[in-house]
């Protein structure tokens, strides 16, 4: 294979190329020295991700094609959410350290309607625009009374069947955001329809209705 000859490619490591609204992730245009990616995430680009001169690399050397789960791109917070697939040694690429320039950990609470407000009760709400047209954002509030309590944020089918676990663990009091990319726990795309996102903290539970359109 061409990739076996070190003089024919240039190396790129731990890169995120995502959400381009024009063209593919990398414009090759007949290049003779090819890009060789390692431990990188290429996702959601209008003209394609692992295409053209990148074809065949998507599942090699720790490369992935998953929503990186940036904290809040509209506010230029490109840190990674805690369950980002680009987090160090995450399950999609256990051999890779951090992917991207910014570490895990959001800078501030998200959701303009709730910014700066400390929740007085457990709540969940469908959020506004998301970084990608292929994901649904959900904001949830954790009151001080739930500090140290394990949270479970899950997506369920209309039948009640568990589809995906988005958050499982302790979260600090405040407002947080989670993204669902429309896949189940095995990474398969779900069918279009009505789903419910449920938030549970101890005995407290609440949920919000979601509509997934493919």
What pLDDT shows up at residue 107? 53
**Model pTM above 0.95:** no
Could you give the domains of the chain?
Answer: 2-80 (no CATH), 123-212 (2.60.40.4070)
What pLDDT shows up at residue 147? 85
What does the alpha-carbon distance between residue 36 and residue 48 come to, in Å, rounded to a whole number?
A: 17
What pLDDT shows up at residue 31? 65
What pLDDT shows up at residue 133? 52
Whole-number Cα distances in Å, 194 to 167, 189, 198, 202: 20, 14, 13, 26
What pLDDT shows up at residue 165? 92
What is the rounded radius of gyration, in angstroms, for the C-alpha atoms of the chain? 19
What pLDDT shows up at residue 111? 46
Residues 6+ apart with CB under 8 A from 73: 19, 131
What does the alpha-carbon distance between residue 163 and residue 91 come to, in Å, rounded to a whole number?
A: 18
What pLDDT shows up at residue 214? 65
User: Tokens 């599942």 appear where?
Assistant: 59
Cβ 183 vs Cβ 189: under 8 Å: yes
Residues 6+ apart with CB under 8 A from 16: 40, 41, 42, 43, 68, 86, 99, 100, 101
What does the alpha-carbon distance between residue 35 and residue 56 come to, in Å, rounded to a whole number?
A: 12
Strand stretches in 48-203, DSSP E = 70-72, 77-80, 123-126, 136-142, 150-157, 162-170, 174-180, 193-201
What does the alpha-carbon distance between residue 199 and residue 154 come to, in Å, rounded to a whole number?
A: 7
| pLDDT tens per residue across all 214 residues of the chain | 344 444 577 889 999 998 887 788 888 776 677 888 999 999 988 888 988 888 889 888 999 998 888 876 655 667 787 778 898 888 888 889 889 888 777 654 444 445 556 788 888 887 754 444 567 888 888 888 888 889 999 999 988 999 999 998 888 888 888 888 888 888 888 998 889 999 999 888 888 888 887 6
What sign does the dihedral 113-116-121-125 (CA atoms) show?
A: positive
Neighbouring C-alpha atoms within 13 Å toward the C-beta of 189 = 8
């Amino acid at each position: 294979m061409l990739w076996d000859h070190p003089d024919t490619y240039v190396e790129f490591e731990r890169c995120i190329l995502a959400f381009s609204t024009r063209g593919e992730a990398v414009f090759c245009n007949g290049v003779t020295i090819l890009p060789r990616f390692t431990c990188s995430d290429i996702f959601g680009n209008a003209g394609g991700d692992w295409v053209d001169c990148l074809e065949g690399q998507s599942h090699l050397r720790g490369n992935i094609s998953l929503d990186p789960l940036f904290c809040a791109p509209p506010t230029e917070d490109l840190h990674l959410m805690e369950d980002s697939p680009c987090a160090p040694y995450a399950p999609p690429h256990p051999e890779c350290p951090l992917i991207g320039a910014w570490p895990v950990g959001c800078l501030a609470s998200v959701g303009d309607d709730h910014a700066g407000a400390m929740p007085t009760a457990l709540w969940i709400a469908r959020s506004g625009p998301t970084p990608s047209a292929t994901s649904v954002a959900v904001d949830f509030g954790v009151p001080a009374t739930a500090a140290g309590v394990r949270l479970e944020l899950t997506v369920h089918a209309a039948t009640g069947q568990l589809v995906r676990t988005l958050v499982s663990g302790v979260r600090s009091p405040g407002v947080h955001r989670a993204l669902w990319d429309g896949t189940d726990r095995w990474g398969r795309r779900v069918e279009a329809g009505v789903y419910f996102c449920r938030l549970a903290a101890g005995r407290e539970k609440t949920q919000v209705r979601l509509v997934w359109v493919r």
